[in-house]
Amino acid sequence: VRNPRRVRILLIGAGTLGRRFCGLIARRQDDCVDRYGIELRLVGVADSQGAALDANGLDGVAVEAIKAGGGSVAELLTVGQMGMTGLELLSSVEGDILCEASPVNLALEGEPGISHIRRALELGLHVSTPNKGPIVLAYRELETLAQRRGKQLRFDGTVAGGLPAIALGARDLRGAVILKIESVPNLTTGFVLEQLAAGAEWPDAVQSARMAGVLEGDGAWDLDGWDTAAKLVILAQSVLNVDACLDDVPRQGISGSDGRWLRASRSEGIVRLLASAVREEMGSYRLDVRPTVLPPTHPLGRLGDRQMGIVYHTDAFGTIASIIEEPTPMPSAATMLRDLLEIYCG
Ligand SMILES: NC(=O)c1ccc[n+]([C@@H]2O[C@H](COP(=O)([O-])OP(=O)(O)OC[C@H]3O[C@@H](n4cnc5c(N)ncnc54)[C@H](OP(=O)(O)O)[C@@H]3O)[C@@H](O)[C@H]2O)c1
């Protein structure tokens, strides 16, 4: 491609996903020029310590390496700025898209993510984020702002990791009425439930999940079903077009699950923390999160312990199921590239 279109990328949050995204876009440079006519240029990255910026382009592989080694992007020679915040970065270098990959922080009302996204949209940037916090808490506000500015707010990484769960429902099922969504969008609970069903006691199952790198912190966000409920709220808002908030979702997590029930259920199928949305008369949806036995005949009845999935039951397109195996966080990180290409290549 002779004159590729340059896309200047700002990234806030360079942890598990953000740093992998930096490496990925560095490695996909030539491919994106050849296949899509897009030149990816990483012009700024912020983490909790500071930022690095260069309008001529940062080295994504160097960013990935310093973060993998436990350092800060602010330590990068000549381009690093210790103490620079994400908001300051947004006003310090011009960009075309913000990739926001800071922590969820629902207890902090979705901050700092909401402020980053709001500022980016106000400045006229597109936004891609795998961060559920801002979408659960401020979807309508941020989407309205994006539309007013003629920009796109995309968040395909917020539900079921790298699975294009939202795009499937919101884009590919256009023209159908969605009668029911069933989803297993959380990997941690599936992993723990499999350990329990195999005979492990609760503390050992949780410890195994921690050792396998699929559980962080005290685990309550995943194990008590908050993460699954948050993803259901996002599906309700963005795919089903209904207003929903976390408090609307009846939620039963897997904490303290009864191992005997799980083992007894084995003959019937696998147990997973299922998020469901069932259409009712008048077009509203009943939302629910609870551990559910999925028989082998169910489209999600053969999920492995590192798999997630979604089933859409529709009137016009029948039943469509989609599953992802996610042994590493790379698919989730790659959703920001997918969002970017969707914005620029349609
Ligand atoms: N991990 C997954 O598999 C996965 C999958 C789907 C969606 N997500 C979502 O994607 C987002 C990122 O996840 P992650 O696993 O990459 O999280 P993470 O490993 O905790 O990384 C978070 C990053 O945000 C930075 N950060 C924290 N506070 C900040 C602030 N005030 N300003 C700027 N940067 C700040 C951290 O800085 P330091 O590096 O200095 O600590 C870190 O680089 C989260 O919202 C998560 O829920 C994650």
Q: What is the mean pLDDT of each run of 10 residues along the chain (346 residues)?
A: 92 98 97 97 98 98 98 98 98 98 90 98 98 96 98 98 97 97 98 94 94 89 96 98 94 90 89 98 95 97 96 98 96 98 94
End-to-end CA distance of the chain: 18
CA dist., res. 251 & res. 313, Å (int)? 22
Distance 97 CA to ligand 1 centre (A): 18
Q: List residues bridging with 128 in a β-sheet.
A: 99, 154
The pLDDT score that the predictor gives to residue 128 is 98
Distance 104 CA to ligand 1 centre (A): 8
Residues with CB under 6 A from ligand 1: 12-18, 46-49, 72, 86, 101-104, 112, 130-132, 157, 161, 329, 332
Distance 211 CA to ligand 1 centre (A): 19
Distance 61 CA to ligand 1 centre (A): 18
Spatial contact of 120 and 86, defined as CB atoms under 8 Å apart:
no
Closest Cα to atom 40 of ligand 1 = 48
For the CA of 105, the closest atom of ligand 1 is 45
Closest Cα to atom 41 of ligand 1 = 48
The pLDDT score that the predictor gives to residue 262 is 85
Closest Cα to atom 23 of ligand 1 = 13
> Candidates 12, 45, 47: which one to mutate for ligand 1, based on the most atoms within 8 Å of Cβ?
47
For the CA of 335, the closest atom of ligand 1 is 6
Distance 13 CA to ligand 1 centre (A): 5
Spatial contact of 101 and 130, defined as CB atoms under 8 Å apart:
yes
Q: Measure Cα distances from 99 to 42, 109, 265, 332 in Å.
A: 10, 19, 42, 13
Closest Cα to atom 7 of ligand 1 = 130
Distance 251 CA to ligand 1 centre (A): 25
Closest Cα to atom 34 of ligand 1 = 47
Distance 331 CA to ligand 1 centre (A): 15
Please tell me whether residue 125 adopts helix, strand or coil conformation: coil
Cis previous bond, 112, omega within 30: yes
Q: CB burial class (10 A; 0-12, 13-18, 19+) of residue 290?
A: middle
Q: Tell me the backbone φ, ψ of residue 11, rounded to 5 degrees.
A: -125, 130
Distance 100 CA to ligand 1 centre (A): 9
The pLDDT score that the predictor gives to residue 22 is 98
Closest Cα to atom 29 of ligand 1 = 48
Per DSSP, 45 falls in state: E
Closest Cα to atom 30 of ligand 1 = 48
Q: List residues bridging with 258 in a β-sheet.
A: none
Distance 114 CA to ligand 1 centre (A): 14
Closest Cα to atom 15 of ligand 1 = 16
Closest Cα to atom 3 of ligand 1 = 329
Distance 16 CA to ligand 1 centre (A): 7
